[in-house]
Chain A
Amino acid sequence: MGLIYNEEQQQLQDSAREFLAARSPVAEQRRLRDEAVPEGFSLGIWKEMLELGWGGIAAPEQYGGLEFGFQGFGPVFEEIGRHLSSAPLLSSVVLSASLLESMGSEQQREKLIPELINGQRRLALALDEDCRFRPERVGLKARKDGDYYVLDGKKTWVVDGFGADGWLTVARLEDESLAIFLVDATVERVQVDHLNLVDSRNHAALTFDEVRLPAEAKLPGKDALLALETVLDRGTACLAAELLGMSESLFERTVDYLKTRVQFGVPIGSFQALQHRAARLYVDLQLARSAVLAAFECLNDPEASATERSSLVSLAKWKAGEMAHRVSNEAVQMHGGIGVTDELDVGLYLKRIRVVQVQLGDSDYHCERYAATLR
């Protein structure tokens, strides 16, 4: 692939747009919020997405995947953003299935990956412990006790953690190295609290109170931090694509409003002060799109080095985040009074954008990470 979508990606985008516009428009997100659906998404729509094959986009054929390549997630997440749709595609497939693929035993991979991509099972990644993203700062302890491990500590901001069938939990072993445990939701002494953020989606806090797990719950793969970094890069790129999709939609709505809203007897979009601000947003959107596509191109390339990958992924999240911040602020401001009402969808986008900006690292985090690749 390159910096424009190829034919297959274009088809994927077209079909995703058609499907989401019909089945998961912004009104659906509003309904989920108003009805306070605790999972933050509709199970029925999630099943339909999986029937479209979204779960298997990047997964190998042996596990029931389509082997389309990771690049397929670019257009899909862009459309998810555009329609403000919610689904556990990021948490259960992009993050969890990828992590199992690199760290799980053959047995775990053969059983769990097919279940994740067909929706029989839903997992979430339990990584964060702090309000700001620092994946290497893990405090949750895992103590060996005979044939068991005992987990003790807290996790927070677990995306789609509420109602999940289990959590891939990052913990620190006694020798200070990191390990990943598959914690089944049925085990005792795990407390799940729903965290209601401005985006009304599924975020959870998990408290592990001396949770006893059989030894095989620990994923056997080596170098958890390295595996995690690769997986987080994938997730980060998907979030950047979601930011891009949300911003494009917001921007289109705003430009339309500038063309139709009449004050002083003319459309307000004829005022140069607003024209120039809108033009600058367009510039930012284009720069962000180039960066997001470059990140997907790199993630799809098996030859790419880890440095190239972190450089391009961090660039994408940084630029998409900065851009989305400006676009959402300007969208509200340019809509004027109606822009701050709940009735208008603009506010829903703004709130979701802020959450995604922070998830898996905000602009400062990714600027620092990009800087590290320059050394």
Chain B
Amino acid sequence: MTDIEQFRLQTREWLEANCPTSMRTPMPIDEMVWGGRNLSFVSEDQRLWFERMRDKGWFVPDWPVGYGGGGLDPQRLAVLESEMRRLRCRPPQINLGIWMLGPVLLEFGTEEQKRELLPPMARGEIRWCQGFSEPNAGSDLASLQTSAREDGDAFIINGTKIWTSYGNMSDWMYALVRTGPKEPKHAGISLIVLDMNSAGVNVEPIDLISGKSSFCQVFFDDVRVPKRQLIGELNGGWPLAKALLQHERRAMSKFSEISLPTHFDLLEYLRRYLPDASSPGEIALQQRAVSCLMEEHAFRLTHRRINETMRARQDASGLMAISKLVHSEQERDKFEVLLDVMGQRALGWSGDGFSERELALTNTWLNSFAQTIAGGSSEVQLNVIAKRVLGLPEAK
């Protein structure tokens, strides 16, 4: 038996013995475990699964053991992932830090920073949030203005960050700040990390057109951040931000993999609300709905193709570049069709006149508008495809 086969057997045995059966079921969105200072569990099984995986170093299976990781090589990592898929294990915890900041720290952090920041991340002790966008720096992220002025052994931070997911529930933030106000805009940006408990940090949740949301605005008023919390070079934050955003795209596709398939099955609604379309209008609506389902089917196949392409070690970058755009637009389009199928039953805002599910539909529909904007708007995605995939020239 080869070492890899041996590892597969051991892993399978360990997972079967240690992953509680209730952790092998699809995970509703409100049962995700977020690591951090305010760690909490809804069940004993959740806690067991979290602790067992943590103690194995398998929150971060491929990080070096010295930083709290599992020390697995890519081949063994693939084995672990496929065995977890086989058993349908839930991810034991969700942590933006691990997915996005972690890889950047491993590549660009100093030894001291790695020793200080990575082990708590690997143990799920710190929940991270991201401070990138600002009210006046959205798609044009590099125009950000939150300032970090040097003052002895610290930076003094002033300004505001917006669209910070779970900013009100996070322990630390990694943020892009302007350290070089006189440099060209891309060359005056630095990446820093800061404790959200620092004096002068204020967080306000944002209400969206869909109602309550996880998005927050974060305000910095003379916030003191030690200089050793600068990641990479001073004014060298932009390339790191680009690396982070690449990890973000990967993380988002991972996230959609682990979260439940969309709660609203268009086909189910079609059967219920339009069981036998007969008038020309109904038939046309039905065809529109079926087209939606077909587009979704083609996207699911494309998702599979991305995985096969990567497994074959071929270039999947072009396909990855379309993924977010297609997924978010298809979701929005699907809700638009659902609205037409259900009429005003899909437009309930509150009250007993509507079922919980109907109200959830309204909320998810309105929220789908945010999805085509967050994490790089559709227009930004199209720019990326046009320039990086198709090689079309920059505008003069």
Residues of A within 8 A of B (CB): 2-4, 255, 258-259, 265-267, 269-272, 274-276, 278-280, 282-283, 286-291, 293-294, 315, 318-319, 364, 367-368, 370-371, 374
State the CA gap A368–B326 with chains docked (Å): 23
The answer, yes or no, to whether B253 is at the interface (CB within 8 Å) is no
Distance between Cα atoms of A85 and B89 in the complex (Å)? 50
Chain B residue at minimum C-beta to C-beta distance from A3: B305
- Please tell me if B72 contacts chain A, counting CB pairs below 8 Å: no
The answer, yes or no, to whether B197 is at the interface (CB within 8 Å) is no
A-side contacts of B318, CB under 8 Å = 282, 286
17 more contacts with CB within 8 A, not counting A275-B386, A286-B319, are: A3-B305, A255-B390, A266-B395, A270-B396, A272-B386, A275-B392, A278-B386, A279-B383, A279-B389, A282-B390, A283-B325, A283-B385, A286-B322, A291-B298, A368-B287, A370-B290, A374-B267
Q: Which residues of A contact B394 (CB under 8 A)?
A: 270
Contact of B42 with A by CB under 8 A = no
- Asked if B390 and A318 sit within 8 Å, CB to CB, the answer is no
The 9 A-B pairs at the shortest CB distance, nearest first, are namely A275-B386, A279-B385, A290-B301, A3-B305, A290-B302, A287-B298, A269-B392, A279-B382, A270-B393
Contact between chains at B383 and A275 (CB < 8 Å): yes
CA distance A259 to B396 in the complex (A): 14
Contact between chains at B396 and A266 (CB < 8 Å): yes
- Some 25 contacts from A to B, beta carbons below 8 A apart, are A2-B304, A2-B308, A3-B305, A3-B308, A4-B305, A266-B395, A267-B393, A279-B381, A279-B382, A279-B383, A279-B386, A279-B389, A282-B322, A283-B385, A286-B302, A286-B322, A287-B301, A290-B299, A290-B301, A290-B302, A315-B298, A319-B294, A319-B295, A364-B287, A371-B286
In the bound complex, how far is the Cα of B301 from the Cα of A291, in angstroms?
A: 7
CA distance A276 to B392 in the complex (A): 10
B195 CB, min distance to chain A CBs, angstroms: 41
Q: Let me know if B392 and A278 touch, CB within 8 A.
A: yes
- CA–CA, A88 to B389, complex, Å? 36
* Contact partners of B391 in chain A: CB under 8 A: 255, 259
Question: How distant is the Cα of A274 from the Cα of B395 in the complex, in angstroms?
Answer: 11
Does B389 lie within 8 Å of A282, measured CB to CB? yes
Interface size class on chain B is 35 or more
Residue of A nearest to B394 (CB): A270
Number of A-B contacts (CB under 8 A): 112
Partner of A259, one of B267, B383, B393: B393
Q: Are A4 and B308 in contact (CB under 8 A)?
A: yes
Beta-carbon contact of A4 and B295 below 8 Å? no
Q: Which residue of A lies closest to B330 (CB)?
A: A287
Contact pattern, B 312-349, Cβ under 8 Å of A = 1, otherwise 0: 10100011001001100000000000000000000000
Enumerate chain B residues within 8 angstroms of A283, measured Cβ to Cβ.
322, 325-326, 385
Say yes or no for B350: interface residue by CB 8 A criterion: no
Q: Once the chains bind, are B385 and A282 in contact (CB under 8 Å)?
A: yes
Decide yes or no: A255 and B392 within 8 Å by CB, A286-B322, A371-B286 being known contacts.
yes
Whether A269 and B393, one on each chain, are in contact in the complex, defined by CB atoms closer than 8 angstroms, is: yes
Within the complex, what minimum Cβ distance (angstroms) separates B16 from chain A? 28
**Can you name the residue of chain A whose Cβ is closest to the Cβ of B384?**
A279
CB distance from B159 to the nearest CB of A (A): 29
Q: How far is the CB of A239 from chain B (nearest CB, A)?
A: 17
Q: How far is the CA of A278 from the CA of B387 in the complex (A)?
A: 11
Q: Which of A274, A280, A287, A291 has most B Cβ within 10 Å?
A: A287
B73 at the interface (CB under 8 A from A): no
A60 to B381, CA, bound (A): 47
Assembly CA distance A367 to B298 (angstroms)? 13
- Knowing A258-B392, A266-B396, say if A287 contacts B299 (CB, 8 Å): yes
When distances are taken between beta carbons in the complex, the residues of chain B under 8 Å from A282 are 318, 322, 385, 389-390
Given A3-B304, A290-B304, A367-B290, verify A271-B298 contact (CB < 8 Å).
no
Residues of B within 8 A of A3 (CB): 301, 304-305, 308
